[in-house]
Chains A and B, each alone.
Chain A
Amino acid sequence: MFANFGIDLFVTAATFGNLIGYNYFLRIAPGSNLITAMVAAFQSGRDIWREKYIKDLASYLLTLPVPRRTFAVSRITGGVARSLIATFPGTLVISYLYGILLSPRLIEAFLVVGLFSLGIVGLSMAVSAFASSIEVFATLRSAIQLYLSFLSTIFYDVTLFPELVQPIVHTNPMTWAIQAFRAIGNQGSTLYPISILVGPSLAFALLGAICYLWYARL
């Protein structure tokens, strides 16, 4: 995962930085880390899908002496923890670039990554509950990743999008996660972007939990 982040940041973002300017490199740098978080979070859904369709482990797991709701919540928590661990070095690198590595604001950076991952883990679990084949899972994953990456403010301002598309960009959790990181970098308050990010993240996590409970009915 760190290698993935490294390629995104030190190859793609650095090259666009040279093409456009160093400020642009700093502007898109947190996107590399959030894209890594997104990929790591989606692995949770893929694991659940594989447990059911490939490894035939789902029925065994559901015989464990754990209530279904607790089990669903633990899957989400595990996914978020995994994503935080996978992006740990990346978050440190971005914090270094933004000059907050040794500041208490580092906690805010991890909070943003955790909140963002929460929503994506929920989405990936919802997808895994309904995708009957790996192709469907991969297609939905790809579509969601396209939406998160390209219809967000990672690379460009929301004002550059056609008016019709702007509401889609505004409701994208990636937009608010990246805005929160930029606020950290500008020494501004993250309260506003984080308070908006909480909405879709909790909604997606709830959706994931509900879908997982539905799927766990067997």
Chain B
Amino acid sequence: MSFSTTQVKDSNSLPGGDSTSRLVLQMARRDISTLFRTPWIIISRSLAFIVQLFVFAYLISGFVVKFPNYFEYYAVGSVVGTIASISFIIGYDIFEEAEEGLLDYLLTLPISRRQFIIGRALGGAVRAMIYTIPMFVIVALMEKFSNPLSLSFAIFDLFLLAFGVTGLSITMAVSVRSANRFDVTLALLELAVSRASTALYPLAFMPSYVAAFAPYSPVTFAADSMRDVLEGTSLNFLSIAGLLAFVTIFVGVGATFYFRRLEGGVYA
């Protein structure tokens, strides 16, 4: 009974009065709620993080003599790498919805296309943040990062990266039609963005052909900015500007592509 009352109230308010932000948040909430319906993903990503940090990084840091405190370096980078990896998931969701025909239903909802797209990107980013914050807390405790301002800036960096990668993932989901090609493209992109960056190893040790591109990776922007702010060096304005540009470009491009595909009836 109460459910139907809520429905009537919602539909009455939608045509005239609902604010844009409320509709965007409603779309975002839908993506966030899928997080709690799919605990398997949380389990697998958390397991991956734990094994990478406490097995791989711990053991391999014993071999790395040319770079002191490699484990600490890797720990911060692994959080950045994990959030980038998780933010890619929204692309898989959108691709699956299109394949299963759920997208057709979503498009009948009384919400504008633009709000729909921004809401999805925001939902994907917030979901990635919820996944990653516990991992960030583990690293912060291990490395004794306690300055609230530094921690806030680091979380802001993570959010910007998540938002941008979500836009990139949506762009890929609506640009590639074959399921196998989509899987491979997204996996490859995820690998390239994370590995060709300073998240897991310092720029000075990369081969020259990687070092030429790595400074422009969004994961590098986030990793460098986070390390600078957490280690108390300074705010890395250049990296933050790079991250902001990445977000603007890919959320914008993702929205435009998505919008065109939806209106073009490609998913029909």
Contacts and interface: CB of A to CB of B under 8 A. Distances in A.
A, B bound: yes
Interface of A: 1, 3-4, 7-8, 10-12, 14-16, 18-20, 24, 39, 43, 46, 50, 54, 133-136, 138-139, 142-143, 146, 150-151, 155-156, 160-161
Contacts of B187: 4, 39
| Dominant secondary structure of chain B at its interface with chain A | helix
B40 A138 contact: yes
Contacts of A46: 183
Nearest to B41: A135
Given A19-B64, A139-B40, A14 B207 contact: yes
A160 B206 contact: no
Interface stretch (B2-10, B18-26, B44-52, B256-264): B44-52
15 contacts: A3-B188, A7-B188, A10-B209, A10-B210, A11-B195, A11-B206, A50-B179, A54-B99, A139-B40, A139-B44, A143-B44, A146-B47, A151-B55, A155-B56, A161-B59
Contacts of B43: 139
Interface of B: 38, 40-41, 43-45, 47-48, 51-52, 55-56, 59-60, 62-67, 70, 96, 99-100, 179-180, 183-184, 187-188, 191-192, 195-196, 200-201, 205-207, 209-210
B133 to A, nearest CB: 20
B205 A156 contact: no
Contacts of B67: 19
B51 A146 contact: yes
- The secondary-structure label for the interface of chain A is helix
A155 B60 contact: yes
Given A43-B180, A150-B51, 18 more contacts: A3-B188, A4-B187, A7-B196, A8-B191, A11-B195, A11-B206, A18-B207, A19-B63, A20-B66, A39-B187, A54-B99, A135-B40, A136-B40, A139-B41, A142-B48, A143-B47, A155-B59, A156-B60
